[in-house]
Amino acid sequence: MPGGCGADRVSSARNGRPPGAAGPSGPDGTPDPGGTSAGLSREVRLALVAVVIARLGINGGIRVVFPFLPAIARGLGTTLAVMGVLVAARSLVGTMAPLAASLGERTGRRAVMLGGLAATAIGSAVIGLAPSVVVAAVGFVLVGLGKPLFDVPMQGWFGARVPYAKRGRVLGITELTWAGGLLATVPLSGWLISRTSWRIQFLPVIVLVVAGLLAVAVLMRNDRPPSRVRTTLALTRPRVAMLAVVGLFSFAAESLFVVYGAWLEADLGFDVGAIGAFTVLVVAAELTGEGGVAALGDRIGLHRAVRVALVVSTVAYLTLLTVGNSVPLAILAVVIWFVGYEVSIVASVPLVTELGGEGRDRLLGLMVGVLAGGRAVGALVAPQLFALGGIGAMAVVSAVSVAIAAVLMATLVPVPRRWVG
């Protein structure tokens, strides 16, 4: 996303503000660089359209593999544990996310976003055409690289242009594409796999990503800065604590994401078609969490939203211990799990943009890197833990991780001074 056109950066410097920093203030004293506090600027509205299209593809590329990992493993002649390593490798690439902020300072945010979209499209094609696990691994890495290259500059762009009082709504809208990407790809992919091959599941992703690339290129202006501008970020205790919270709840969620399809197959007797259909319930739960933050997060307070969501997530993970072979109980547990997780992650993003101040892009980069690290560890641990103790072992580990995150959030991460919640 644009980090501000050249004129914006020059104007900011002339007025004594760091390039990309907030300009005028809204009624609560928060920056209001995206227009008046009464509404969003045309630039922001067009950017939202482009981002929604692009992120449907970006997120679809990440999510389409989870329910069908067993099918992909069978197609490549390998095991679920090996596929877990590929997912972990994809996540580990995300630890390079801080570099996205540095690239944005040099080339502009839009250019980095376009690069992320290209990486996702190419990576998805490579996985679908892969003759071996080694080639598929290359595709997984490219898809893993594409998400932080897109998300970090995008979130930083909105953070610099939208006042904190409205940031939860705007970034919440962009996060609706996490559920939307799953809905746009997984049910269709499940249907396609059941009638053709596992390889065809990546076609919807490629179509969406190419459409998003065109939307970003057309609807967003080139924002290459006239000269490179560097920002700094101090790793204060609240910022480090927030990063720890993010790492813990991402580890907990990824641990279950990786074995999600295997659990539904082994314990509940689902086939790939049923898994695709079950995804509709997952999407409904995610939309509830994401939409709740977009609609109410700014009103009730993003900090409070994260705290409550972490407690709800802990309950959800523990509920998995009671599921057994019951489909109704599985539905209840999964719905609570996804609602809690989505509120946690969606409310954390605008909160981090405020905690980061003028160095928001760099803190966002660290956040995405920590998210990726937590996911990588979860992907590596999950198959072995699932093989040893089933879904019950996964539930206990995830519940403990999120409970620790809730304590850190309540004790070490302050509520932003400009907003009490």
* CATH number of the domain that residue 175 is part of: 1.20.1250.20
8 in a domain, yes or no? no
Assess contact for 55 and 177: CB atoms under 8 A. Answer: yes
Q: Are 152 and 100 in contact (CB under 8 A)?
A: yes
Residues of the chain with pLDDT under 50: 1-38, 419-421
**Is 22 within the bounds of a domain?**
no
**Would you state the structure tokens that stand for residue 175, as one six-digit string?**
């996060």
In angstroms, the Cα distances linking 286 to 2, 67, 172, 337, 341 are 28, 16, 12, 9, 8
Please check whether residue 31 lies inside any domain of the structure: no
pLDDT of residue 157: 81
Q: In total, how many domains does the chain have?
A: 1
Residue 16 lies in a domain: no
CA 189, CA 390: separation in Å to the nearest integer?
27
Side-chain-facing half-sphere of 350: CA atoms under 13 Å: 33
Q: Find, among 37, 17, 16, the residue nearest to 27 by Cα.
A: 37
Cβ distance 104 to 112 under 8 Å?
Answer: yes
Beta bridge partner(s), residue 25: 31
SS3 5: coil
CB 152 within 8 A of CB 169: no
Please tell me the number of Cα atoms within 13 Å of 277 on its side-chain side: 6
Tell me the C-alpha distance between 139 and 367, whole Å.
24
Residue 116 falls inside a structural domain: yes
Identify which of 189, 205, 225 has the alpha carbon closest to the alpha carbon of residue 19.
225
Q: What is the pLDDT of residue 348?
A: 92
- Which domain does 169 fall in, by range? 39-220+235-412
pLDDT at 58: 96
For residue 12, tell me if it sits in a domain: no
In a domain, 298, yes or no: yes
Task: Supply the pLDDT for residue 23.
Answer: 40
Give the integer Cα–Cα distance in Å for 121 and 318: 37
Give the span between the Cα atoms of 109 and 107, in whole angstroms: 7
pLDDT of 417 reads 64
pLDDT at site 416: 75
- Residue 50, in any domain of the structure: yes
pTM greater than 0.75 (yes/no): no
Single out the residue of 391, 378, 381 nearest to residue 266, CA to CA: 391
pLDDT at 87: 86
Q: In sequence order, what are the residues at sequence separation of 6 or more whose Cβ sits closer than 8 angstroms to the Cβ of residue 3?
A: 9, 19, 20, 104, 105, 108, 109, 110, 153, 156, 157, 160, 223, 225, 361
